[in-house]
C-alpha cells in the first residue's frame, strides 16, 4: 500500500505571524511582503537545526571577530581631533610587556577581554555610550601607545572657532555668531603679576583643604595659559583648564588674607567682587565647554573647588546638585574603577599616566567624601555605594615626588606628606557612612559603643600621622591647621554618633555616657578652635568648620537648658563657653553668609535663655508631648519656616530679598530689647500642644528673632543650619526604632 503523502505545512514566516498561508513556496503573503527568500516550509529547515553547539559557538565567535575588525577599521574616523590636556603630564611609553599583553575591551574594569566585554562593547556602540565607545576604540588599537597618540574626544576641549559657538551648541540660541566668545571669556583674567601671587597663595594656604590638584602640572599649565594670552594664541587655550584656573583664583580672592590684599593693592570689597567675577567666569567656561556632554578630569576638579565657594555663599543646594552630576561624569570616565597603584593592573591608553591616575583618585575620593558626609542632610541617601567603589585611596605622597618619569613611592600612613590630612578625612568619612546607614536601619545601642571605640582609636592615632617625615616649608606652616581640623572632624563624628541619645541621657541612666560624651566632644571642638587666634581665623573661613563649631555650640546650649532646669553649679561656665563661641563666629562673618546666619541664631538663643523658665526636666514615664522649652522653640521655628518658605520665581527679582553679603547689613539688625521683661514661659506655653500652624512671627514679635534679616527664607536657612535632624533629634528625646533595647 502506498504511503500517504505528508500534508503541506504553513511556511515559517506565516506561522510566526499567525496568519493564513496558501502553502506554496514562496507563498502569497511572503511575496506581498517581499520575503520570497525567507519563505520556507517549517519542517524543511534542517540546516539551522543540524549544527552542533560547538559549531554554533564557532560561528558566533567568527561573527564577533568580523565585527571587531569593522570597529577597528572605523576607529580612525571616530578619533577626536583634540590633543591630550597639558595640565597632566604626557603619559610615558608603556613597557614592552604591555604591548604584547591582551587588549582590554572595557578598560574601566581593568580586566582582560572576555566575550561578555566584547558584547558590551558592541552595545556601547549601538546605544550611544560615547565614553565607553571611545575607550573601546583606543583599546582595540593594534599600534603601541605613544605620546603622539590622540586622546579621547571627551578628555580635552579647545575651541578652534573664535566667533560664536559651534553648530548645535545649546548657547547658539543666545550668542550672536559675530560674538568673539573666547575674547569675552578672557576679559576676566587678571594681570600676570596678580595671578602669580594668588596662585602661590592658594597652594601655600588653601590647597591642603581639598587636595585635588597636582601643583607642578597646574603651575606649568598656568604659565602656558598666561603665555598664550599674552601672545594672543587663543586657539591653543583649553576651556576646561581656563575654568579650573578661574576657580582657583576665585577661592584665593575669596579667602584672601590681609597681607596678600596689600600685595595686590586691593581692598576687601574689591577682592570679594573679583571672587564673584571669577566664579561667574568659571561657570561660563563650564557651560561653554558643554561639561555635561564633554567630560574631563578638569571639569571635575573645577566642580569640587567651586563647591567650596558655593557653600560659603549659602548655595549648598547648588553644590549638592552639581556634585551628583560630577559623580556620574567620574563614573563615565572610569574613575570609580582605577584600583590602587600597587595592584598589578593593565591600564588603557587614557590612564597610562601615573600622575593622571593619582589625581583621578584624589578627585574620586573627594567626591565620595562630599557624597557621604552630606548624606544625613539628604535623608540618608548617597550616590556612591561602597560595594560599587573599586578605586583605592590616593597615595600618601608629596606632589613634588609624583611624576611620570620617576619611581612611584608611596609613604606609610605614619609619615607626614601633603596628602596626610586628605587621607585622614577619607578614613573618617568611611566610619560616618556606617553611622548614616545605621540611622536608616538601627541595630541597637551596641553599634554606637562599637563605633565609639573605633573613632576613639582613630583620634588617638591622629598626632602620629603629623609628626614624622620631611615636609616642604609651606606645609610646615599649615601642618598645625591640618591636625586641628582632623581632630575636630573626629570629635564631630563622635558627637553625631551620640547625639540621638543626648536628650534621653538626661533622664535614663543607660544613656548617661552618651550625654557626657556628646557634651565633651562639643567642648573639645570649641577648645580646638579657640586654641589659636590665627588658626581660628583661617579655619572658620571654611563653611564646614563653621558648621562643626555651630553644631557643638547647639549641644552646649541644650546642656545649658538642662543645667538651668536642674540648677547645676556649672551653669555660668556654659554661658561663658557659648559667648566665646559666638565671638569666634563673629570673626568670620565678613567672609561667609552662613556665618551670619549662625551668629544671628546663636544670639537669639542666648537672648532667650535668661527668660526661659527653670522648670524641672521631664520625669521618667511622663507623657512624650510634654516637650522641653528648647524643643518647643525650635520646633515652632522649623514649622513656621517650612510653611512660609517661598522659592523665588522667575518673575521676582532676586535682589528683592535682603542682601546678606552687603557690609551695611552686617550688624544692622536691632538687638532684642531688654528694657521690659518678656514672659517667655507664656510664649513657650502658647505654642505647645498639637497646633502645627502657629505663626513664627510670634517669636519675632516677642523679640527672640527681630530685624529685617529674619525673613522667611532666612528662617528656613537658620532651621536647616540648626538641625540636620536625621536621628529625630527634636522628637522629644524618643529613640529611633531599634535603639530602645
> What are the phi and psi torsion angles at 646 (to 5°)?
-125, 135
**What gap in Å lies between CA 660 and CA 596, rounded to an integer?**
8
**What gap in Å lies between CA 261 and CA 253, rounded to an integer?**
9
**What gap in Å lies between CA 542 and CA 316, rounded to an integer?**
13
pLDDT tier at 633, thresholds 50, 70, 90: low
Q: What is the pLDDT of residue 652?
A: 36
Residues 344 and 290: beta-carbon distance below 8 Å? no
Helix (H) or strand (E) holding 701, with range, is helix 697-701
The pLDDT > 70 percentage for the chain reads 65
One-character DSSP codes across 492-527: HHHHHHHGGGTTGGGT-GGGHHHHHHHHHHHHHHHH
Domain locations along the chain: 12-49, 79-155
Cell of 158: 579647545
Task: Note the pLDDT tens digit of each residue in 86-133.
Answer: 343 333 333 333 333 333 334 444 444 556 666 666 666 666 566 666
The long-range contacts involving 683-689, CB below 8 angstroms and separated by at least 24 positions, are 684/612, 684/613, 684/629, 684/632, 684/633, 687/632, 687/633, 687/636, 688/625, 688/627, 688/632, 689/625
DSSP H stretches of helix in 609-689: 629-644, 680-686
What's the DSSP call for residue 163?
B
Q: Give me the mean pLDDT over the 216-226 stretch.
A: 96
Q: Which residues pair with 41 in a beta bridge?
A: 11
DSSP H stretches of helix in 204-348: 207-210, 215-230, 239-254, 258-264, 268-288, 297-312, 316-333
CA separation, residue 592 to residues 30, 384, 515 (Å):
75, 29, 31
Q: How many CB atoms lie within 10 A of CB 68?
A: 18
Task: Note the pLDDT tens digit of each residue in 657-696.
Answer: 334 333 333 333 333 333 333 333 333 333 333 332 233 3
pLDDT tier at 29, thresholds 50, 70, 90: confident
For the chain, the farthest-separated pair of C-alpha atoms sits apart, in whole angstroms, at: 126
The CA angle 9-13-14, to the nearest 5 degrees, is 60
- Estimate the crossing angle of helix 316-333 against helix 354-373, to 10 degrees: 140
Residue 503 predicted with pLDDT over 90:
no
Q: What is the pLDDT of residue 651?
A: 36
Q: What is the pLDDT of residue 128?
A: 59
DSSP H stretches of helix in 50-185: 53-78, 96-100, 115-127, 130-139, 181-185
**What gap in Å lies between CA 310 and CA 592, rounded to an integer?**
10
Q: Where are the beta strands (DSSP E) in 156-211?
A: none
Does pTM surpass 0.85? no
Amino acid at each position: 500500500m502506498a504511503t500517504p503523502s505528508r500534508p503541506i505545512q504553513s511556511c515559517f514566516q506565516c506561522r510566526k505571524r499567525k496568519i493564513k498561508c496558501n502553502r506554496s513556496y514562496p507563498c502569497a503573503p511572503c511575496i506581498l511582503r517581499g520575503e520570497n527568500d525567507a519563505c520556507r516550509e517549517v519542517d524543511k529547515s534542517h540546516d539551522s537545526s543540524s549544527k552542533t553547539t560547538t559549531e554554533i559557538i564557532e560561528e558566533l565567535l567568527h561573527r564577533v571577530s568580523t565585527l571587531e575588525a569593522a570597529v577597528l577599521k572605523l576607529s580612525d574616523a571616530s578619533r577626536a581631533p583634540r590633543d591630550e590636556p597639558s595640565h597632566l603630564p604626557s603619559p610615558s611609553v608603556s613597557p614592552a610587556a604591555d604591548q604584547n599583553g591582551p587588549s582590554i575591551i572595557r578598560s574601566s574594569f581593568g580586566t582582560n577581554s572576555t566575550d561578555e566585554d566584547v558584547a558590551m562593547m558592541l552595545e556601547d556602540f549601538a546605544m550611544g555610550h560615547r565614553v565607553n565607545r571611545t575607550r573601546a576604540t583606543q583599546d582595540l588599537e593594534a599600534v603601541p601607545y605613544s605620546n603622539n597618540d590622540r586622546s579621547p574626544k571627551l578628555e580635552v576641549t579647545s575651541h578652534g572657532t573664535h566667533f560664536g559657538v559651534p553648530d548645535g551648541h545649546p548657547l547658539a540660541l543666545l550668542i550672536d555668531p559675530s560674538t568673539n566668545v573666547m575674547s569675552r571669556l578672557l576679559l576676566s583674567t587678571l594681570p600676570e603679576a596678580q595671578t602669580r601671587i594668588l596662585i602661590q597663595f592658594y597652594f601655600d594656604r588653601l590647597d591642603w583643604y581639598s587636595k585635588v590638584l597636582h601643583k607642578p602640572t597646574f603651575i606649568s599649565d598656568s604659565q602656558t595659559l598666561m603665555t598664550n594670552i599674552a601672545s594672543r594664541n587663543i586657539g591653543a587655550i583649553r576651556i576646561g583648564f581656563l575654568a579650573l584656573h578661574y576657580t582657583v583664583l576665585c577661592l584665593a580672592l575669596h579667602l584672601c588674607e590681609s597681607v596678600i590684599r596689600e600685595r595686590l593693592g586691593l581692598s576687601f570689597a574689591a577682592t570679594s567682587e573679583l571672587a564673584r567675577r571669577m566664579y561667574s567666569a568659571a561657570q561660563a567656561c563650564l557651560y561653554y565647554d558643554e561639561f555635561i556632554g564633554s567630560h574631563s578630569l578638569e571639569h571635575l576638579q573645577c566642580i569640587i573647588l567651586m563647591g567650596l565657594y558655593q557653600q560659603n555663599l549659602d548655595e549648598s543646594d547648588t553644590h549638592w546638585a552639581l556634585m551628583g552630576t560630577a559623580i556620574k561624569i567620574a563614573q563615565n570616565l572610569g574613575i570609580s574603577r582605577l584600583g590602587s597603584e600597587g595592584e598589578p593592573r593593565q591600564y588603557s591608553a587614557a590612564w597610562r599616566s601615573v600622575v593622571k591616575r593619582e589625581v583621578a583618585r584624589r578627585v574620586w575620593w573627594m567626591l565620595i567624601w562630599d557624597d557621604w558626609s552630606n548624606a544625613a542632610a539628604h535623608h540618608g541617601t548617597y550616590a556612591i555605594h561602597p560595594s560599587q567603589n573599586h578605586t583605592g585611596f590616593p597615595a600618601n605622597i608629596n606632589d613634588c615626588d609624583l611624576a611620570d618619569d620617576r619611581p612611584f613611592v608611596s609613604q606609610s600612613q605614619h609619615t607626614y606628606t601633603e596628602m596626610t590630612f586628605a587621607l585622614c578625612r577619607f578614613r573618617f568619612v568611611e566610619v560616618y557612612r556606617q553611622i548614616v546607614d545605621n540611622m536608616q536601619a538601627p541595630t541597637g545601642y551596641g553599634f554606637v559603643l562599637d563605633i565609639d571605640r573605633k573613632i576613639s582609636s582613630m583620634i588617638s592615632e591622629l598626632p602620629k600621622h603629623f609628626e614624622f617625615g620631611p615636609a616642604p616649608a609651606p606645609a610646615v606652616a599649615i601642618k598645625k591647621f591640618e591636625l586641628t581640623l582632623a581632630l575636630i572632624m573626629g570629635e564631630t563624628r563622635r558627637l553625631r554618633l551620640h547625639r540621638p541619645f543626648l536628650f534621653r541621657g538626661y533622664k535614663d541612666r543607660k544613656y548617661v555616657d552618651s550625654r557626657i560624651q556628646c557634651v565633651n566632644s562639643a567642648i573639645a571642638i570649641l577648645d580646638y578652635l579657640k586654641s589659636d587666634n590665627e588658626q581660628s581665623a583661617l579655619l572658620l573661613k571654611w563653611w564646614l568648620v563653621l558648621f562643626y563649631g555651630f553644631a557643638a555650640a547647639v549641644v552646649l546650649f541644650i546642656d545649658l537648658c538642662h543645667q538651668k532646669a536642674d540648677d547645676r553649679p556649672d551653669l555660668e561656665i556654659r554661658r561663658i563657653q557659648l559667648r566665646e563661641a559666638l565671638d569666634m563666629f563673629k570673626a568670620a562673618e565678613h567672609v561667609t553668609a552662613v556665618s551670619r546666619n549662625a551668629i544671628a541664631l546663636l544670639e537669639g538663643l542666648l537672648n532667650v535663655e535668661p527668660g526661659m523658665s527653670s522648670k524641672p526636666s521631664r520625669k521618667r514615664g511622663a507623657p512624650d508631648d510634654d516637650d522641653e522649652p528648647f524643643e518647643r522653640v525650635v520646633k515652632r521655628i522649623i514649622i513656621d519656616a517650612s510653611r512660609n518658605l517661598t522659592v523665588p520665581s522667575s518673575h521676582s527679582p532676586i535682589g528683592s530679598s535682603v542682601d546678606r553679603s552687603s557690609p551695611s547689613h552686617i550688624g544692622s539688625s536691632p538687638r532684642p530689647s531688654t528694657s521690659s521683661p518678656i514672659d517667655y514661659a507664656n510664649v513657650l506655653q502658647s505654642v505647645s500642644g498639637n497646633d502645627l500652624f502657629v505663626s513664627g512671627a510670634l517669636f519675632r514679635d516677642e523679640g527672640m528673632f527681630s530685624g529685617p534679616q529674619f525673613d522667611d527664607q532666612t528662617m528656613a536657612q537658620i532651621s536647616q543650619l540648626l538641625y540636620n535632624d536625621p536621628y529625630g533629634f527634636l522628637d522629644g528625646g524618643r529613640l529611633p526604632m531599634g535603639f530602645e533595647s
